[in-house]
Structure 1
Amino acid sequence: MTSSNVAKTLVSLIVVGAILALPKNVMAQSSVGSIVTQDFFNGIINKATGDCPGKSFYNRDAFLNAVNSYGQFASGPDEQSKREIAAFFAHVSHETGFLCYIEEIGGANLDPSHYCDQTRISEYPCNPSKGYYGRGPLQLTWNYNYGAFGNANSIDGLNAPETLAQDAVVSFKSALWFWMENVHSVIGEGFGATTRRINGAIECDGKRPDLVQARVNYYNDYCNQLGVAPGDNLYC
């Protein structure tokens, strides 16, 4: 055996040894890009009707670009990562009609004060000519969310909230920011816990079981597509 072949054999043994050394309950981590394939992404957005504004706005490249700013998203073992991605896109599908909507329906017609929380106005002052209605894959709302998201991403969220509807990368960043701030920490508690974090006050505890079921249906579908069991505690 040549020295080159010996070296290759040693490298192979080291890799195999490292894999075998993993705890039995830990699966190797997959990258987000290898899970959210173009086919998976297209399968979501193609369910939207043909005249949806989101179909020419949202795209996989923008999503993966945004993910680069949130390295902890879906960064766990393979099974956990797939469940988090399935949960994320289940809620995105519910909030935007399969990435159909960029902005809240009728949001532009609301009085600008509608989503201006006066109790936090000293920290996140509302621009009276701007509306903080839902925008992006998770329909970010309220002045305090726009302000905090902007601060975290060097964007003037309070004075230019419309950026979320103009730049697809920023739009996905807004959804990932909200997810990492509010949802990521409970992913291990089951899908129901993520629904409670997103819209629990309106939907959970029997308030809107139809909407909760719709979210669960999307989640189960995406888990099936990704080849992972949905886990327990699906309802909130």
Structure 2
Amino acid sequence: MRILALISLSLLSILGALAQNEQCGSQAGGIVCPGGLCCSKWGFCGTTLDHCGDGCQSNCNTGGGGSPNTPSPTPSGGGGDISSLISKAVFENMLKHRNDANCEGGFYTYEAFIAAAKAFGDFGTTGDDDTKKREIAAFLAQTSHETTAGTAIGSDLLANPDLVATDATISFKTAFWFWMTPQSRKPSSHDVITGRWTPSEADSAAGRVPGYGVITNIINGGFECGKGSATEQDYRNKQEDRIGFYKHYSDILGVGYGNNLDCYNQKNFNE
């Protein structure tokens, strides 16, 4: 199923390189962890004693404090119940192919989606209703996950990698973690779509302007962005698919798309 193909075991190998990219603090340009997570002295977000104890750089008294072996889910920030914005019927209309032969039948359920969203309380609860709906549409079009998701969501994915394939809530949580968490040099997708991100002078010079296109840049900019009309057709097709999904979901939710939907003329964040 192409719509949620980015939540897949093909990315589990990345988990083996846990914490290679600093996320916060002096190692990441002063970024503060989302959701009240502590920033460790090494520049990583989490809620364990290693994150919130000696050398902690920010949020040190708000990050929870579970033991190193039992990290807690990212604390909720705004209540986190988005069921009033996207009903089960709408969800199943948006992901109507989730039961086809290419997917585990019924794996990505509405109930799992809502449960995972509640662990990231700012998701779908920031801004006015149009902003909230636009974030849901963008997330479902761009769903992905990254390196240290297992630590942030309170699950040992390195010891139990099958959780992503067998637990739908964990699968969605990995995607929400990536969506909500700034990476080195990059804002979070959440901050972009909700208007919290303000481009720096370097961003502006690189053509990175607020809009859905920057989210594609965050996720796969090295391949899909910054090549203008010379972008390889395969990657142009992928970006057009992302935009197509976003427009389709936005139409279902009855919300406008906003500006700057592509990143063809944006330099990627690593340049």
Mapped contact 2:81–2:118 kept (Cα < 8 A): no
Q: Where does residue 59 of structure 1 map in the other structure?
A: 109
- Give the letter for the 2:242 counterpart: R
How far 1:31 moved relative to its partner? 5.1
Mapped contact 1:220–1:230 kept (Cα < 8 A): yes
Name stretches of at least 5 consecutive residues in structure 2 with no aligned partner: 1-79, 182-187, 196-209, 264-271
CA RMSD of aligned residues (A): 2.1
Equivalent residue for 1:32, pick from 66, 72, 82? 82
Separation in 1, partners of 2:221, 2:112: 29
Equivalent residue for 2:221, pick from 200, 225, 232? 200
Separation in 2, partners of 1:180, 1:173: 10
Separation in 2, partners of 1:154, 1:85: 23
Counting aligned pairs with the same residue, the percent is 36
**Bigger radius of gyration:** 1
Q: Where does residue 185 of structure 1 map in the other structure?
A: 191
Q: Where does residue 233 of structure 1 map in the other structure?
A: 260
Separation in 1, partners of 2:245, 2:169: 24
Does 2:152 match 1:152? yes
Name stretches of at least 5 consecutive residues in structure 1 with no aligned partner: 1-29, 93-137
Normalising to structure 1: TM-score of the pair? Answer: 0.61
Normalising to structure 2: TM-score of the pair? Answer: 0.54
Structure with greater proportional helix content: 1
Q: Where does residue 69 of structure 1 map in the other structure?
A: 119
How far 1:193 moved relative to its partner? 1.0
User: Residues 1-236 of structure 1: matches in 2 within 5 Å?
Assistant: 32-48=82-98, 50-76=100-126, 77-92=128-143, 138=144, 140=145, 145=147, 148-181=148-181, 182-187=188-193, 188=195, 189-206=210-227, 207=231, 208-236=235-263
How far 1:84 moved relative to its partner? 0.6
Separation in 1, partners of 2:176, 2:139: 9
1:79-105, CA deviations, whole angstroms, 9 ceiling, x for partnerless residues? Answer: 11111111011123xxxxxxxxxxxxx
Name the count of aligned residue pairs: 157
